[in-house]
């Protein structure tokens, strides 16, 4: 057990922490802050630390008087962090002193419960609770926070108390109780906390049942313009939805230099955590990737689960992966992402808990040491190599069939699977959510004059595709390499159409697939006015279609047929890729 003589939140204070051993206690102090304390003070602090009080009272008269007296003698405020069983967990010395989240790691707390610790601090002048006290109350999810005034004579005077509130329409974080002279305090603590905790739990249950999901606050912190960041947050919100997360609020900050530690300013970070607590959010999702050190620094400030866009995408992939191949690729990507974040930080990782950002490799696996993760990565890589061998066999089979391959590529949710379905009368899942498709599907498509091609649909692209994911999905993406023609499907109704096209171009380029002939189709044209379709088609040299409408595909099919190399006509049934050949394609009906 340690007594922490530590001040937090003051970045200008020296960071060095020394440990002094005092009796059986470890005293952590910031240089200089403890100087001037006499040995008798330390001994008195130790005695204070060894006290126990009944569970039913906030603080006993005796403890309050001793702390007040000592505070007056030392001319320093004293903070007592007390457990529900009445054990003094920490004694803190110095103005504004508060425990750090790390020091409370063993007192786990859920998003909707309290930590089971209260902080009562003395104040040498009569002063109400400060904003900083309220921040500590909320961020540390304390049972109660209290400020006890100390008279000139070292006697306890007014006691100001505050406790957290369940999320409410007014957005109030806490309730300040009416200050009372210490001796008049009449609060049956155990009953009070029991009621408060049930209220918090009830609101949490209500919240979870009503939404059936986790909820989040989205954050963008970057030097980009506000408008650009908001556009990106729009996509992050769709990603969150795709992962089954309800979005409660969005926060944008244009960052400056010096914000590297937490990605955004510390003040803003605290404000955001407060907002998350007010709204009852389960997690905060950053649009920007958090470096391992940043994720660690943030987890030292707050217990609320914080994840980044990459983790969110990995989570979606983990939900959608159905095939062995898909699952292996996702797990590999997750482990590669987590490895640098695991090193010696078991506690902060275990705070991830369950749910979003922690699906896939289970928590126990996350907590295993580096070596075991490495072994697992090596094992998965071998499995992928095995998958790749099978893939090669499949490819060889296709090539033996001598059929040209037409691969549909494009931004996620552009309508690729819908197009494959309409072209080949298939029914692969297509839905209005990002990353619906993860696995590659191949279908035959027969053109008029018995010409045939293989059409493949695969995983969609997204801007800033996490590199671990690109690496892990290489086997899936490699299949694109066999394509004789890439059909780039663009959602013509997307507001950021240019960026989506650029993202696809740059991913193809990074895969060295930009040399494969490409045809661009503007999909979802049913959502646009005819003139707009004409203008966009001219601008992008693309063919306008609506994948939902078979008839709209005729010009595309006619065009494709002119582009595809001449292939042997379909005479005898050949080996099929995944499925029997589909009936005549649309073009055959024209
Ligand atoms: N209005 C309209 N909606 C379309 C059209 N094509 C597809 N959609 C809808 O767009 C949504 C996404 O379609 P998908 O075919 O799943 O898109 P995808 O590109 O395969 O998406 P991922 O697999 O997630 O990358 C679905 O709700 C489709 O019904 C279209 O031409 N017009
Ligand atoms: Mg799809």
Atom of ligand 1 nearest to the CA of 435: 24
Q: Is the dihedral of CA 192, 196, 197, 199 positive or negative?
A: positive
Q: pLDDT for 124-151, tens place per residue?
A: 987 889 888 888 898 888 999 999 999 9
Any idea which residue has 């209260």 for tokens?
118
User: From the CA of 319, how far away is ligand 1's center (Å)?
Assistant: 19
- Name residues whose C-beta falls within 8 Å of residue 156's C-beta, 6 or more positions apart in sequence: 61, 64, 65, 67, 68, 122, 148, 149, 150, 182, 183
Pair 521, 492: CB distance under 8 Å: no
* Closest residue by CA, ligand 1 atom 1: 524
CB 416 near ligand 1, within 6 Å: yes
Q: How far is the CA of 458 from the centre of ligand 2 (A)?
A: 7
Q: Are 177 and 189 in contact (CB under 8 A)?
A: no
CA geometry: angle 578, 580, 584, nearest 5 deg = 125
Of 415, 419, 421, 428, best ligand 1 pocket probe by most atoms within 8 Å of the beta carbon = 415
Atom from ligand 1 closest to the CA of residue 523: 31
User: In this structure, what token pair is assigned to residue 380?
Assistant: 């998965």
Which-ligand-closest: CA of 410? Answer: 1
**C-alpha dihedral, 489 to 490 to 492 to 498, nearest 10°:** -160
Q: Is the CB of 551 under 6 A from ligand 1?
A: no
Residue stretches of the chain with pLDDT short of 70? 1-37, 96, 110-112, 204-212, 257-262, 342-369, 398-400, 449, 564-590
Q: How far is the CA of 207 from the centre of ligand 2 (A)?
A: 32
Q: Residue 405's closest CA among 262, 563, 266, 541?
A: 563
pLDDT at site 206: 55
CB 486 within 8 A of CB 563: no
Nearest to 434 by CA among 340, 289, 316: 316
Residues 221, 255 contacting (CB under 8 angstroms): yes
Query: What domains lie within the chain, and their CATH numbers?
Result: 2-201 (no CATH), 213-367 (3.40.50.11060), 402-589 (3.40.50.300)
CA distance 36 to 163: 34
What is the predicted pLDDT for the residue at 168? Answer: 79
By most ligand atoms within 8 Å of CB, the mutation choice from 418, 550, 556 for ligand 1 is 418
Are 338 and 318 spatial neighbours (Cβ–Cβ below 8 Å)?
no
Tokens of 263: 């990605």
Q: Is the CB of 435 under 6 A from ligand 1?
A: yes
pLDDT the model gives residue 96: 67
- 526 in contact with ligand 1, CB cutoff 6 A: yes
Between the CA of residue 446 and those of 91, 201, 360, 577, what are the distances in Å? 79, 59, 40, 14
In 3D, which of 463, 459, 410 has the Cα closest to residue 435? 459
Ligand 1 centroid, distance to 522 Cα (angstroms):
12
| 49 within 8 A of 89, measured Cβ to Cβ | no
Is 309 in contact with 287 (CB distance < 8 Å)? yes
Query: Which atom of ligand 1 has the smallest separation from the CA of 412?
Result: 25
Q: Identify which ligand lies nearest to the alpha carbon of 242.
A: 1
CB 57 within 8 A of CB 144: no
| 417 to 213, 460, 484: CA distances (angstroms) | 27, 10, 19
DSSP sequence for 316-378: HHHHH--SHHHHHHHHHHHHHHHHHHHTT-HHHHHTT-SSTT--SS-HHHHHS-HHHHHHHHH
Ligand 1 near 242 CB (within 6 A): no
What pTM did the predictor assign? 0.77
Regarding the beta carbon of 411 and ligand 1, being less than 6 Å apart is answered no
Looking at residue 34, its pLDDT comes to 54
Q: In whole angstroms, give the CA distance from residue 443 to residue 519.
A: 19
Q: Does residue 282 line the site of ligand 1, with CB under 6 A?
A: no
Give the C-alpha separation, 345 to 203, whole Å: 32
What value does the CA radius of gyration of the chain take, rounded to a whole number of Å? 31
CA distance 109 to 199: 16
Which residue among 409, 430, 441, 489 is best mutated to probe the pocket of ligand 1, counting the most ligand atoms within 8 A of its Cβ?
Answer: 430
**Does residue 317's CB lie within 6 angstroms of at least one atom of ligand 1?**
no
Assess whether the C-beta atom of 238 lies below 6 angstroms from ligand 1.
Answer: no
pLDDT tens track for 554-566? 999 999 988 865 4
Q: Give the ligand 1 atom nearest the CA of 552.
A: 31
Distance between Cα 443 and ligand 2 center (Å): 14
CB 540 within 8 A of CB 520: yes
Q: Whose CA is nearest to atom 25 of ligand 1?
A: 412
Atom 13 of ligand 1, nearest CA residue: 415
Task: Quick: pLDDT tens for 49-85.
Answer: 888 999 999 999 999 999 999 999 988 889 999 999 9
Q: How far, in Å, CA of 319 to CA of 331, rounded?
A: 11
- How many of the other CB atoms lie within 10 Å of CB of 101? 21
User: How much is the pLDDT for 399?
Assistant: 67
Which atom belonging to ligand 1 lies closest to the Cα atom of 545?
31
Q: How far is the CA of 430 from the centre of ligand 2 (A)?
A: 5
Tokens of 157: 């005077």
Kindly identify the ligand whose nearest atom is closest to the C-alpha of 550.
1
């Amino acid at each position: 057990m340690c007594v922490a003589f530590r001040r937090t939140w003051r970045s200008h204070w020296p960071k060095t922490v020394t440990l002094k051993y005092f009796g059986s206690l470890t005293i952590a102090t910031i240089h200089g802050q403890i100087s001037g304390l006499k040995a008798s003070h330390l001994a008195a602090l130790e005695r204070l630390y060894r006290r126990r009080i009944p569970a039913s009272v906030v603080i006993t008269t005796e403890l309050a008087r001793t702390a007040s007296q000592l505070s007056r003698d030392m001319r320093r405020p004293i903070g007592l962090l007390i457990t529900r069983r009445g054990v003094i967990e920490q004694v803190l010395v110095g103005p504004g002193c508060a425990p750090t989240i790390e020091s409370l790691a063993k007192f786990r707390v859920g998003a909707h419960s309290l930590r089971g610790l209260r902080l009562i601090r003395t104040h040498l002048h009569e002063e109400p609770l400060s904003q900083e006290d309220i921040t500590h109350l909320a961020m540390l999810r304390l049972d109660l926070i209290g400020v006890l005034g100390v008279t000139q004579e070292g006697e306890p005077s007014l006691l100001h108390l505050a406790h957290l509130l369940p999320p409410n329409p007014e957005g109030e974080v806490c309730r300040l109780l009416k200050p009372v002279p210490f001796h008049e305090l009449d609060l049956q603590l155990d009953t009070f906390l029991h009621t408060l905790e049930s209220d918090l739990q009830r609101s949490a249950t209500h919240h979870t049942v009503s939404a059936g999901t986790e909820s989040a606050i989205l954050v963008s912190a970057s030097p980009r313009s506000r408008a650009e960041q908001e556009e990106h947050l729009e996509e992050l919100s769709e990603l969150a939805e795709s992962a089954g997360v309800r979005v409660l609020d969005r926060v944008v900050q244009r960052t400056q230099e010096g914000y590297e530690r937490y990605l955004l300013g510390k003040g803003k970070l605290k404000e955001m955590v407060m907002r998350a607590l007010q709204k009852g959010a389960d997690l905060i999702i950053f649009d920007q990737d958090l470096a391992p050190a940043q994720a660690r620094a943030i987890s030292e400030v707050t217990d609320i689960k914080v994840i980044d866009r990459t983790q969110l995408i990995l989570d979606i992939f983990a939900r959608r992966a159905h095939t062995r191949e898909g699952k292996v690729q996702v797990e590999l990507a997750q482990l590669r992402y987590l490895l640098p974040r695991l090193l010696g930080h078991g506690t902060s990782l275990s705070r991830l808990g369950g749910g979003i950002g922690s699906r896939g490799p289970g928590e126990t696996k996350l907590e295993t040491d580096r070596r075991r993760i490495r072994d697992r990565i090596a094992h998965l890589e071998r499995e992928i190599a095995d998958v790749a061998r099978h893939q090669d066999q499949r490819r060889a089979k296709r090539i033996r069939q001598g059929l040209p391959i037409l691969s549909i590529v494009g931004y996620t949710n552009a309508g690729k699977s819908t197009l494959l379905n309409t072209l080949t009368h298939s029914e692969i899942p297509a839905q209005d959510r990002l990353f619906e498709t993860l696995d590659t599907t191949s279908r035959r498509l027969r053109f008029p004059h018995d010409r045939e091609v293989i059409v493949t649909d695969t995983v969609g692209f997204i801007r800033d595709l996490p590199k671990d994911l690109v690496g892990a999905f290489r086997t899936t993406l490699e299949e694109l390499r066999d394509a004789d023609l890439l059909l780039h499907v663009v959602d013509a109704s997307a507001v950021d159409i240019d960026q989506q096209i650029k993202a696809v171009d740059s991913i193809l380029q990074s895969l060295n697939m930009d040399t494969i002939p490409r045809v661009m189709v503007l999909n979802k044209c049913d959502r646009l006015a005819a003139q707009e379709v004409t203008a966009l088609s001219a601008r992008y040299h693309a063919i306008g279609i609506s994948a939902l409408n078979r008839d709209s595909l005729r010009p595309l099919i006619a065009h494709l047929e002119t582009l595809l190399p001449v292939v042997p006509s379909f005479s005898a049934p050949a080996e099929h890729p995944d499925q029997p050949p589909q009936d005549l394609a649309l073009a055959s009906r024209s």
